Structure 1
Amino acid sequence: MKIGLTYDLRSDYLAAGYSEEATAEFDREDTIAALETALVDLGHLTDRIGHARQLVGRLAAGDRWDLVFNIAEGLHGIGREAQVPAILDAFQLVYTFSDPLVMALTLHKGMTKQVLRDAGVPTVEFAVVAGPEDVRALAFPPPYFIKPVAEGTGKGVSAASIVRRREDLGAACRNLKTAFQQPVLVERFLPGREFTVGLLGSGREARVLGTMEVRLLAGAEPQVYSYTNKAQYEERVAYRLVRPGEDWVVARSEELALRAWRLLGCRDGGRVDIRCDAEGRPQFMEVNPLAGLHPVHSDLPILCTALGIPFVQLIEQIVASAAVRIKACPLPRKQVLQAHAHCHRP
């Protein structure tokens, strides 16, 4: 297949003056190179497209692909991860990972938790705080855990995310909202074990790949898988492969993760993060349907390495999952484009 690659290259945004933290979710050149190498090794032709605006330019020039391997995070707005999928849907081009609805929903952590809570998935008490009135209306007691409602890679998460007194919550939320210009998700703090569950596939074909327990080392910011801890994971974090047959908490976490993945309609591959409450019961934290794919530093490939799965095999399975949708296109793309042109003739 001819596979186009859509992505946001971190170095481009740093050169344009964006900060290290603002570009934390974007990909490094070696991630794109590793992905391209894996696809070529699998027998595909690759074409680097780039970010959303570059994609628009290529489409306007008439370029098309059999499949687009999309890892573009987007830059502006809570729906930014939906931008590239929406453009590709408009041209009836098949792409990896989730559709615009799922991407927009799951980046908003509060809405995601509301959907899953209403479906009966265990998730700790939470509220989205947009102003002082929301703090006053909060119905559950401290300690709290706060983070921006629509960021990834641990952005905005630090030791200060744990707020132990209600009287400190207003100022803490105000500071975070000012820093990230978005509402704040407030959850009851979960003191227990933390897991990240890898998943592959879509719908009923989705399955759990495996689970890692996230353990903070002595030099880490305590009790929180923070932005700094993630950035310096080699010194601050230990990832331990855990098995459902050996630990009922892991088994329950994997059941919860797979149920959330299917309920949300996530596709092809990604991660669900789980943390346990004081009684050791797993609770849904968040889902990442556009997980990092650096072959060494990203959580999903780290999990694959622990399982003995080569990076190229991970990419192969993601492509195979997405390629099923190529056969499902209702009309050949040429016919769709011809029909569209006919409808707009004067």
Structure 2
Amino acid sequence: MRVAVLANLKKNAPAWPGMSPDRWDDLDSEETIQAIVAALESRGHHATFLEGDPTLLDNVRKLRPDICFNICEGHFGDGREAQVPAILEMLRIPYTGSQVLTLALALDKPMTKRVLTYHGLPTPAFQVFERAGEPLDPDLQFPLFVKPSREGTGMGVSAESIVQDEEQLRRQLELTFERYDEPALVERFIAGREVTVGLVGNLRSPVARRMPEDDEAPRILRGLHFFPPLEVDLAAYPAEEGGIYTSRMKTELAHDFHYHCPAPLPPEQVEELNWLAAAVFRVTGCLDVARVDFRLDASDNDRPYILEVNPLPGLNPGYSDLCIEAEAGGWTYEELINRVLDMAVERYELV
């Protein structure tokens, strides 16, 4: 098949004076693109990289691919991860991964948490701030966690994100507004372990974006493959990282990543995490591949709380969580990339 690999390279991103130094931390490296292209070509596909910027509209029509392997993060706008899929749908070109609504939703952390809360899925209590002077919800108790509402790759997350009192909260809100110019998400800080679950596949259609009404109904996960959970080894990092999975750990220290995979968890807890990951996949409308991030509450017998879902998980073969999990599950990188493609090919009935 002719496959267009669509991404936004860091080296091609726009720049301007005063730009935040982490502005493009979620964009991809040439290393990642080359690895994806090689993986696709190892199975006989003809893969070509196209930059996911305004030139794409003409370039993808010239290339006329059978399908696109999409990992575009976008540059501007609060729905930037959905922009390239919207173009592809307008042109009626098939593509891998989740569709427009899901990508726009998942980028907006507060909106995602509202959906999870509506469906009774465990996520830390939260409040969205648009101004630093807004009163704190009396139901929220310190310590709290502050982060930008629409960023990825841990952008804006550091040890200072954990705030212990009103003074720290107001200072961190001001910093978040100044640096990212978007609402801030403030949620209950869950002290404990950080675990992520990767999955590929699709729930068997038709699937509504809702949980079964009967809580005692059998848990149907058919169509999804779960990789062994990965736990970030927070104790292996300097104390100044604050015991959380910071932006610095995901970028500057990415090639020296410390983790346990499979995470040392009892089978029943892995089953619970898989069920919650499948539920998030379902209610947010994910397709083909996703990663769901959790914190395990050390004060409540490691009870899991959903932090967020990433329908565009990183695919760097050297350090991305999903790739490490796939390897721990006995998959090669080539198998992972081509399974994602196969899931989309099946959905579009291309074979």
Fold match (TM-score > 0.5) = yes
Q: What is the Cα deviation at residue 62 of structure 1?
A: 4.4
**2:219: which partner in 1?**
none
Q: Over residues 112-143 of structure 1, what are the superposed CA-to-partner deviations in whole Å (9 max), with x where a residue is unaligned?
A: 01101100111110111111454434531110
Larger mean CA deviation between 129-138 and 225-234 belongs to 129-138
Structure 1 residues 301 and 20 mapped into 2: Cα distance closer, same or farther (>3 Å)? farther
Q: What is the Cα deviation at residue 20 of structure 1?
A: 4.8
Instruction: Give the partner amino acid of 1:99.
Output: Q
Larger mean CA deviation between 86-95 and 304-313 belongs to 304-313
Q: Give TM-score, length-normalised by structure 2.
A: 0.87
Residue 76 in structure 1 maps to residue 81 in structure 2: no
Q: What is the Cα deviation at residue 233 of structure 1?
A: 4.1
Q: Do the aligned partners of 1:49 and 1:55 also contact (CA within 8 Å) in 2?
A: yes
Q: Do the aligned partners of 2:37 and 2:47 also contact (CA within 8 Å) in 1?
A: yes
Q: What is the Cα deviation at residue 41 of structure 1?
A: 0.6
**1:94: which partner in 2?**
94
Alpha-carbon distance in structure 2 between the residues aligned to 1:95 and 1:207: 20
Structure 1 residues 134 and 254 mapped into 2: Cα distance closer, same or farther (>3 Å)? farther
Aligned residue among 308, 321, 324 for 1:299: 321
Larger mean CA deviation between 307-316 and 100-109 belongs to 307-316
**1:24: which partner in 2?**
25
Instruction: Give the partner amino acid of 1:22.
Output: R
Q: Over residues 145-164 of structure 1, what are the superposed CA-to-partner deviations in whole Å (9 max), with x where a residue is unaligned?
A: 11110111111000000001
Residue correspondence of structure 1 range 241-252 to structure 2 within 5 A: 241-242=262-263, 246-252=266-272
Structure 1 residues 128 and 261 mapped into 2: Cα distance closer, same or farther (>3 Å)? same
**2:238: which partner in 1?**
219
- Secondary structure (helix, strand or coil) at the match of 2:124 reads coil
Alpha-carbon distance in structure 2 between the residues aligned to 1:247 and 1:102: 30
Q: Over residues 245-270 of structure 1, what are the superposed CA-to-partner deviations in whole Å (9 max), with x where a residue is unaligned?
A: x3433332221111111111101112
Q: What is the Cα deviation at residue 47 of structure 1?
A: 2.0
Q: Over residues 69-91 of structure 1, what are the superposed CA-to-partner deviations in whole Å (9 max), with x where a residue is unaligned?
A: 00110000110000000000101
Instruction: Give the partner amino acid of 2:119.
Output: A
Larger mean CA deviation between 207-216 and 84-93 belongs to 207-216
Instruction: Give the partner amino acid of 1:169.
Output: L
Alpha-carbon distance in structure 2 between the residues aligned to 1:10 and 1:23: 6
**1:209: which partner in 2?**
227
Aligned residue among 276, 279, 286 for 1:256: 276
**1:50: which partner in 2?**
51
Q: What is the Cα deviation at residue 174 of structure 1?
A: 1.6
**2:306: which partner in 1?**
284
Alpha-carbon distance in structure 2 between the residues aligned to 1:40 and 1:138: 56
Q: Give TM-score, length-normalised by structure 1.
A: 0.89
Structure 1 residues 19 and 189 mapped into 2: Cα distance closer, same or farther (>3 Å)? closer
Q: Over residues 278-302 of structure 1, what are the superposed CA-to-partner deviations in whole Å (9 max), with x where a residue is unaligned?
A: 2021010001100111111211111
How many matched pairs? 327
Larger mean CA deviation between 48-57 and 78-87 belongs to 48-57
- Secondary structure (helix, strand or coil) at the match of 1:327 reads coil
**1:333: which partner in 2?**
none
Residue correspondence of structure 1 range 168-187 to structure 2 within 5 A: 168-187=168-187
**1:319: which partner in 2?**
341
Structure 1 residues 93 and 226 mapped into 2: Cα distance closer, same or farther (>3 Å)? same
Q: What is the Cα deviation at residue 21 of structure 1?
A: 1.3
Residue 266 in structure 1 maps to residue 286 in structure 2: yes
Alpha-carbon distance in structure 1 between the residues aligned to 2:282 and 2:324: 23
- Secondary structure (helix, strand or coil) at the match of 2:348 reads helix
Query: Which runs of no fewer than 5 residues in structure 1 stay unpaired?
Result: 330-346
- Secondary structure (helix, strand or coil) at the match of 1:203 reads coil
Q: What is the Cα deviation at residue 23 of structure 1?
A: 1.5
Q: Do the aligned partners of 1:154 and 1:227 also contact (CA within 8 Å) in 2?
A: yes
**1:343: which partner in 2?**
none
Instruction: Give the partner amino acid of 1:69.
Output: F
**2:218: which partner in 1?**
none
- Secondary structure (helix, strand or coil) at the match of 1:136 reads coil
Alpha-carbon distance in structure 2 between the residues aligned to 1:3 and 1:114: 36
**1:240: which partner in 2?**
261
Alpha-carbon distance in structure 2 between the residues aligned to 1:156 and 1:303: 25
Instruction: Give the partner amino acid of 2:268.
Output: W
Alpha-carbon distance in structure 1 between the residues aligned to 2:327 and 2:227: 12
Q: What is the Cα deviation at residue 172 of structure 1?
A: 1.4
RMSD: 2.1
Q: Do the aligned partners of 1:52 and 1:72 also contact (CA within 8 Å) in 2?
A: no
Bigger helix fraction: 1
Instruction: Give the partner amino acid of 1:131.
Output: R
Identity %: 37
Alpha-carbon distance in structure 2 between the residues aligned to 1:248 and 1:14: 47
Structure 1 residues 318 and 218 mapped into 2: Cα distance closer, same or farther (>3 Å)? closer
Greater relative contact order structure (CA < 8 Å, 6+ sep): 2
Residue 154 in structure 1 maps to residue 154 in structure 2: yes
